Structure formats: structure tokens, C-alpha cells
Amino acid sequence: MIVDIENTTTSKVSKKLRELREAGGVVALTRVLTLVILTSKDNAEPAIAAANLASREHPCRIIVLASGRTSDATRLDAQIRVGGDAGASEVIVLEASGEIAEQNEAMVSALLLPDAPIVAWWADELPDGVSKTPIGKIAHRRITDTAMDPRPLDALRRLAAHYSEGDTDLAWTRLTRWRIQLASILDTLDPDAITSVTVEAAADLPSAALLSAWLQMALSVPVELVSTAVPEDSELPLTLTAVTFHRATGDVSLSRPRGEEIAELRSADGLVQGIPLPVRTLQDCLAEELRRLDSDEIFGEVLSRGLPSTQLPIGFSPAG
């Protein structure tokens, strides 16, 4: 069910939600958290779709703040989605413009679930110091996505400069399967025999920068980032394509061509083994982040300590 409420207030939206819940038998106590999505109007629907899928694992109330332009007339339009239109959630979409276009806690306070954790997700634009923003101050966890920024590596640096416990970024979450496989490979190698590492990825990919920082911290060897060519008309997601451990006795590499779900592990003697390594979807990454409400200490170390000591050339360096 979808209910549109034009030119309203948050208190009226809260009252209407209670009416719908009572009429439809939706039990608020089944919601384990409140997910606040901060996004532009253009990106609202993709973010809601991902949150709805993630909510099947983590039933929650989803509040979407889709900010309009401050130059427009001041008004608040709302939409409530329940039942099949909201996955395992209640979705409240707030479109604010004019004097109330700025995203702040007053917009959501009347709609938060009582005594439930608050997770905030900036689905596109990355503000400076997310933990210091009005929504960031009330959130237990703060999720950003530097890959959505027009200058992703600059956004990653800004995130590192203002890092606070509870911050996380989906560029890190996209690395989970890569880190698992690379850790497994390193268990079979002598770390002291590794002289350097090469990470290949699409240019300016924040996941590649974070992986490089993680590897440099773990191995204390030079890590070089090189860019792989991406066709201009390609609709495939920008991803990591290869990690190579260089050794005097022969290189060991894990590579996955863009668009493929099977990676190739190539040993020093030339043997090739296929390993499942599919590209993670947005909902997969969001669902993983919603599983934990404590700080990700490894991410914090990589972002605040490893990244500043890692060279991140704009556009990386040309491959080959």
C-alpha cells in the first residue's frame, strides 16, 4: 500500500502511520532498527529498492529524506509505503524543499522507533564530518558511499580526516569477499618473501585505495595501484580486477575480469584455480552493514592510519 500526503508535517505523517499500522495489523515491535536514508530526489528510488531488499534480513523502519532545492517554496510532501510495497519494512519518504530542505534531526525525530538503534545512510552526497551532522549525531552507525561522489578519492580522504567510531563506507564493504580470499592466500605464503604488491582496478576506485592500505598495513611492503581500461560505453560496475603478490620465487595473483563471477588464482608454478568471487550488489553490502551496530575497528585502522600513508595518485597510474 502506498499513501501520498501532500504539504504536510511530520506529526501528521506519524499519526497517519499509526492509523495504517493499526488498520493493517503491522506490529512496530518487529522492527529491529530505524534506517534513515539521506539522498537526493533523483537517487531516492534506487536507495529505497536496495533498503527494501536488505530489510528482508533486517526488518526496520526506513525514513528517506529526499532533499529538494532551498530556492523552491517551503513545503513537505510525504509518502508512506507498507506491506508488499515496503519489503519487510515501513517506508516513509519525506520530500522537503525551501527553508526545511536542510536535512536535520527535527525532520525525523517524531518518526523514529522508540528504543531502537538508528542507522544513517548517505546514499549519494558525502558531507564533511558525517558524525558531526545533525543526523550523524543521533545515529549509532553512519554509512557512506564514497564511490557515489564525483571525486571519490577526495571523498575518501575527507572521510579519513573526519573519521569517528561508528563510521563505515560501502567501498569497504564491497571488499569483504576479496579480503577473505586474499587472507586465505596469504596463509599459504611466507609474508617475508613478498617484495611488493600490485592492485589493479578501475581508476579512482575507493575500494582499491582501501584494499591497498589494508595490504600495506598487513605486509609492510610497497603497494602499487594501477588503473585498468574501462570502455566508455560499458554499463558494468567499476570493480577491482586483480591483486598480485610479487616474490623472487614467482608471482601469485588473484584476478577477476570485469563482469565475471569466477576469479582465477594463479600460483607461482602456473597452476590456475577458479574461485567464486561475484560482484557484490548494493543490497548485499547494505545488509552486511546492518548486521553490526558496533564500530568496525579494522576499517577505522585502515581509514585513519593506513590510508594517509598510502600513495593514492589521482586516476592511479597507467596499467602496463
Give the pLDDT confidence score for residue 88 in this predicted structure. Answer: 64
pTM: 0.89
Strand blocks (E) in 114-268: 118-122, 141-144, 167-169, 194-202, 223-228, 240-247, 252-255, 262-266
Find out whether 62 and 92 touch, Cβ atoms under 8 Å: yes
State which residues of the chain have pLDDT below 70.
24-30, 84-88, 231-236, 311-320
pLDDT digits (tens, 9 = 90+) for 172-202: 999 999 999 999 999 999 999 999 999 999 8
Q: How far apart are CA 205 and CA 191, in angstroms?
A: 26
Find out whether 266 and 252 touch, Cβ atoms under 8 Å: yes
What percentage of the chain carries pLDDT values higher than 90?
A: 56
Q: How far apart are CA 225 and CA 208, in angstroms?
A: 8
The residue whose grid cell reads 590510508 is: 307
Q: How far apart are CA 269 and CA 280, in angstroms?
A: 30
Q: How far apart are CA 32 and CA 34, in angstroms?
A: 7
Give the pLDDT confidence score for residue 228 in this predicted structure. Answer: 85
Give the pLDDT confidence score for residue 315 in this predicted structure. Answer: 52
Amino acid making up residue 67: S
Which H or E run contains 157? helix 152-161
CA nearest neighbour of 13 among 70, 116, 90, 123: 90
Give the pLDDT confidence score for residue 319 in this predicted structure. Answer: 45
Q: How far apart are CA 140 and CA 11, in angstroms?
A: 24
Using only C-alpha atoms, the chain has a radius of gyration, in whole angstroms, of: 22
Read off the C-alpha cell for 197. 604488491
Amino acid making up residue 283: Q
Give the pLDDT confidence score for residue 312 in this predicted structure. Answer: 64
